């Protein structure tokens, strides 16, 4: 199947969406509607430019960095996200996924779990404005967690990366 992605932006060489230099891909579409969201324009699933996985991979390969998927929320399109994560993992890219879903919700849903299975890290949970902390690395509010996917699958529970 040929997946299409509504891409709001691809940020090359960023250091704010995970460790080291990364290519961050902002995908359109989010229904969490978190009050205080810094990226409300990402809520519209029809926003951005339509790209194929090959288009995205071309940019990723040019940059040669690990990848972050953000948005919006990539898990509102779990099948296409799984496809992209799998292709990136096959290329040896460590993928971080930002989502408003909690890890517990992800593991309870086979489609969501399949989408993140080959990612390195999931940054989970909705942004909560009253818990906003600009000093937290790689997340916006203190309820959000950096979850090591492989370790969590092995342990059968969320394994948090200390930051």
DSSP assigned state of 16: S
Asked whether residue 161 is domain-assigned, the answer is: no
Q: pLDDT grade, residue 2 (50/70/90)?
A: confident
pLDDT of residue 129: 96
Tell me, rounded to whole angstroms, the distance of Cα 44 from its chain centroid.
17
pLDDT of residue 91: 97
Say what angle helices 53-63 and 78-90 make with each other, to 10 degrees.
Answer: 40
Tell me, rounded to whole angstroms, the distance of Cα 17 from its chain centroid.
9
What does DSSP say about strands 95-98 and 66-71: parallel, antiparallel, or unpaired? parallel
| pLDDT per residue as tens digits for the range 11-36 | 999 999 999 999 999 999 999 998 98
Asked whether residue 163 is domain-assigned, the answer is: no
Asked whether residue 162 is domain-assigned, the answer is: no
* Domain of 52, in residue numbers: 4-155
pLDDT of residue 133: 95
Report the run of H or E that residue 150 belongs to, with start and end. Answer: helix 149-155
pLDDT of residue 162: 87
Asked whether residue 41 is domain-assigned, the answer is: yes
Cβ–Cβ < 8 Å for 99, 73: yes
Asked whether residue 92 is domain-assigned, the answer is: yes
Looking at residue 124, which CATH number applies to its domain?
3.20.20.70
Asked whether residue 160 is domain-assigned, the answer is: no
- Cα(13)–Cα(65) distance, rounded to whole angstroms? 7
| pLDDT per residue as tens digits for the range 52-86 | 999 999 999 999 999 999 999 999 999 999 999 99
| pLDDT per residue as tens digits for the range 97-145 | 999 999 999 999 999 999 999 999 999 999 999 999 999 999 999 999 9
Of 134, 106, 140, give the one whose Cα is nearest residue 35. 140
Q: Give the CB-side neighbour count of residue 45, counting CA atoms within 13 A.
A: 9
| Domain total in the chain | 1
pTM of the predicted model, to two decimals? 0.96
């Amino acid at each position: 199947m040929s997946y299409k992605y509504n891409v709001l932006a691809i940020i090359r060489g960023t250091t704010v969406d995970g460790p080291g230099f990364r290519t961050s891909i902002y995908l359109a579409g989010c229904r969490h509607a978190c009050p205080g969201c810094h990226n409300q324009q990402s809520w519209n699933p029809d926003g951005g430019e339509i790209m194929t996985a090959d288009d995205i991979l071309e940019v990723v390969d040019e940059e040669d960095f690990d990848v972050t998927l953000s948005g919006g929320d990539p898990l509102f399109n779990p099948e296409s996200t799984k496809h992209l994560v799998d292709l990136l993992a096959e290329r040896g890219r460590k993928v971080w996924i930002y989502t408003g879903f909690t890890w517990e919700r992800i593991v309870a849903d086979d489609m969501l779990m399949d989408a993140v299975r080959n990612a390195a890290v999931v940054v989970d949970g909705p942004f909560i404005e009253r818990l906003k902390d600009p000093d937290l690395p790689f997340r916006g509010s203190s309820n959000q967690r950096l979850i090591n996917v492989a370790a969590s699958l092995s342990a059968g529970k969320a394994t948090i990366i200390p930051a």
